[in-house]
Structure 1
Amino acid sequence: MKELLKSSNWISGLQWLFFIFTNIVVIPITVGAAFELSQETIVSMLQLSFIVTGLACIIQALLGHHRAIMEGQSGLWWGVILTLVNTAVAQGMPLDVLGGSLTVGIIISGILTILIGITGVGPILAKLFNPGVMGVFMFLFACQLVGIFLKGMLGIPFGNVEGEVYIDPAISVLSIVIALLVIIISIKGSTEVRKYGLLIGIIVGWIAYALIFKTESVAGGQAKAFQFELFPFGGPAWDIGIILTVVLTGLLNTANTFGALKGTDSMYGKEATNKQYRNSFTITGFVTGFAGMFGLVPYSPYVSSIGFLNQTGIIKRMPFILGGFMFFMMGIIPAIGAFFSTLPLSIGSAVLFVSYLQIVISSRNFFRIVKWNTRNVYRSAIPLFVGIIIMTMPAYYFNSLPEIIRPLLSNGLIVGITLALILENLLSWDKID
């Protein structure tokens, strides 16, 4: 009780609230826009995201891994879902078929994640994700998300758009200015100011957007408490290619749990136990299954929490729990969800564009452990270059491939990570001098 009443814990909890908010608020808006959902549905999804994320953080801290690590909608899942939408549109697949198959795949992924937790095979899977795999994963992950954010900054709409699409010069200029502002704060700002760089960028950009364009964002709307739609992307469907892609994404998403727990071992002065891994996976699995039914991006521990912990030094659980509770309360109040749904997508994209540039550091740290030479450089070069090249290819290039494998092979992130897993675990590269 004493810890709960400490003002310092509430102040630190407020910092956690800002961090969680900055990472979550754009995700439901962009996904809802990509699936062409109604304004009211997007507002409800945002409101539910606040509630589920707040609860997930609290449950992980109390019953899961017992650490101050944000549990949120996974960036890997987010990037794959937006990429699948763009690919489906280019290949003529109806969005409700994509959404229904996506829902089925996410629910299956949630069940598999629960099984990983219950059976305790997490540490075995961790051995597959060695530094070489994690370096490729982090770099390609950054490439995919930063590419999505850059398009958002340029005013290119998410999802299905009829006719030709062009860059919006006015939106682009404002977005670039906001991105530069956040970068300058990150470089020149004091320690206290840098903590709130992303939040400052959102506030300044949002106000500037409202003054310049005098219009609401794509997601403006109203919501009533607890009126959430089951299967908003479409009823369950069975496109095997999409389902396989989604299930594979779920397995690859386990890398976030390994990265977050391993990355905080030094802060807590001990390695995470098998029980912590089991509990963390089990909780993530349940939340992911729930997310699939209600149109939320699936969850995982946030590797980016490591940067926040390093920057603030707030490693105690109580401030984190308080931050999660405040975020939960934001979702309970409908007016708050409706207000934040008006965040312009271009501004959110600009702020997150800067935020995810930091992933390059994580990729570099993993690659520094890899022993490269002119004979074994292929272990990383092949998955990196193949993944990046596929990302740049138009989706219609893959129309000649069988439908069952088309979603898999047209996704550069999944292809690159899969190649890295195969190459790193089938050959003893360190023995090649």
Structure 2
Amino acid sequence: MKHLAGGIQWTVFLIASSIAAPIAIAHVFGMDAVATSLFMQRTIFVLGIACLIQAFLGHRMPINEGPAGLWWGIYVVYAGMVGIFYSTSTDALQALQSGMLYSGVLFIILAATGVITKMKALFTPAITFTYLLLLILQLSGTFIKGMMGVEEAGDHLDPIILGGSFVVLLITFIAMANKRPTVSKYAVLISILFGWGLFLLLGKTPTVAKVSDQFIQLPQLFVYGKPVWDGGVLVTAIFITFLLVANMLASIRVMEHLLTHSFNITPPDRLRQGAFASGFIHLIAGLFSAIGSVPISGSAGFVGTTRMHSIKPFIIGSGLLVLMTLFPSVMAFFAALPAPVAYAVTFAIFTKMVSMAFNELDADPEKERARQAVAFGLMVGVGTMFVPAESLSELPAIIASTLSNGLITGTILAILIEQFMIGRSKKKANH
């Protein structure tokens, strides 16, 4: 029974942390309510399948898969190319659908050749700290705006939403700190249910839209047409895949650290299996015309908060997620989860990740070298976050999507700086 309750909590967390991406992408491509619902259904269906694949065949840790922010950015960039490089939105989405297949094949090649294993050495405590802190800083603005009810430029702060979000945040912290395991373990579920009820009383919940007359609806295959060859998307997919590998390595590294130091569990090294699984997951995403996913670092914050390190509730939650996507009415119901509630609860979870990040930095034996790499990575990464996306719009899609992502830019620079200093130290030692 406790695994079922934990599984339900995982399901709610998976939906709350994944629902924004398909809705936002559908918006930039001008999809109507039905197309948006179906796109969300396919994406979340693939995410549930992805979690199960990783749990049984991949890294075998409770790390949830979420829509990759890098792919999210690429979708937005390609939406801007409609009418320029692509005649219609469907043509652009068809090319991106093929891009998922390219990426899946490349993931499998990188895993088969052992390149993935060699890349793991790059993720030292200093790099993991840089990645985590940049992730937290990049998302903090989104969390705060969401808790204020500010969705886009020109929106005004809504005092009722802000007040409700603050109450939900407070309840989440109280539940997380409760000494009774039955409360602290299910703090996320309790807070989301409480917050949903509160926002219902405040009259700030979205209406549940009716999107289909069918009781059960299976996700469709190749919605935008058969795979096509697109050289530009191929180059983009190659570059994005390498960045997604870096993202995956960081997420696995963070969870390994949490399990080892907080639960005295030493997980086996299944990095290559995780990479193979990511390859098949991207192939499935292309098959179902969905967004490619990546292991999410925030899952470590969730596990640290709930103290629920067992993979059994994670598997149950992922299975429930897949099952739910087959029922359009259930998906429409969860789509009505007030966004400020999800933001407030996620904000509380990410506060745990701040302490995890600093624990990583403290573990680095080369303190001076670590601080220099971190300084470069953080300054460039955070600085990049303030560059308007419009300023990069004339650059090639690959460069634009990378430079507009401070998380990736800062992490890559920190890796380059640290590896340069390591190489220089080795030369001095040899002389």
For normalisation by structure 2, the TM-score amounts to 0.79
Deviations 1:306-343 (A, max 9, x none): 45555666555545433433333323333322211111
Match of 2:108 among 101, 111, 114: 114
Separation in 1, partners of 2:232, 2:319:
38
Shift of 1:422: 0.8
Give the letter aligned to residue 199 of structure 1.
L
Q: 1:115 to 1:361 in 2, by over 3 A?
A: farther
Match of 2:341 among 344, 347, 353: 347
Residue 195 of structure 1: aligned partner: 185
Give the letter aligned to residue 152 of structure 1.
G
Residue 166 in structure 1 maps to residue 147 in structure 2: no
Deviations 1:148-177 (A, max 9, x none): 22222232336xxxxx52233233333233
Residue 184 in structure 1 maps to residue 174 in structure 2: yes
Q: 1:133 to 1:344 in 2, by over 3 A?
A: same
Match of 1:226 among 218, 221, 225: 218
Residue 135 of structure 2: aligned partner: 141
Q: Do the aligned partners of 1:260 and 1:306 also contact (CA within 8 Å) in 2?
A: yes
Mapping of residues 17-96 of structure 1, within 5 Å: 17-36=8-27, 37-65=31-59, 67-73=60-66, 77-78=68-69, 80-81=70-71, 96=89
Shift of 1:83: 5.1
Task: In structure 1, list runs of 5 or more residues that go unmatched.
Answer: 1-9, 159-163
Separation in 1, partners of 2:83, 2:196:
34
Separation in 1, partners of 2:48, 2:415:
33
Give the letter aligned to residue 252 of structure 2.
T
Q: Do the aligned partners of 1:140 and 1:384 also contact (CA within 8 Å) in 2?
A: yes
Shift of 1:220: 3.2
Q: 1:19 to 1:59 in 2, by over 3 A?
A: same
Task: In structure 2, list runs of 5 or more residues that go unmatched.
Answer: none
Q: Do the aligned partners of 2:260 and 2:266 also contact (CA within 8 Å) in 1?
A: yes
Deviations 1:95-122 (A, max 9, x none): 9487566545443332222223333333
The number of equivalent residue pairs is 412
SS at match of 1:168: coil
For normalisation by structure 1, the TM-score amounts to 0.79
Shift of 1:253: 2.2
Residue 147 of structure 2: aligned partner: 153
Deviations 1:378-432 (A, max 9, x none): 2110110111111122223335656652332232112101101211222228959
Give the letter aligned to residue 4 of structure 2.
G
Residue 208 in structure 1 maps to residue 206 in structure 2: no
Mapping of residues 384-423 of structure 1, within 5 Å: 384-399=378-393, 405-423=399-417
Q: 1:30 to 1:385 in 2, by over 3 A?
A: same
Q: Do the aligned partners of 2:52 and 2:315 also contact (CA within 8 Å) in 1?
A: yes
Q: Do the aligned partners of 2:143 and 2:343 also contact (CA within 8 Å) in 1?
A: yes
Separation in 1, partners of 2:226, 2:163:
36
Match of 2:252 among 253, 257, 261: 257
SS at match of 2:65: strand
Q: Do the aligned partners of 1:35 and 1:233 also contact (CA within 8 Å) in 2?
A: no
Shift of 1:137: 0.8
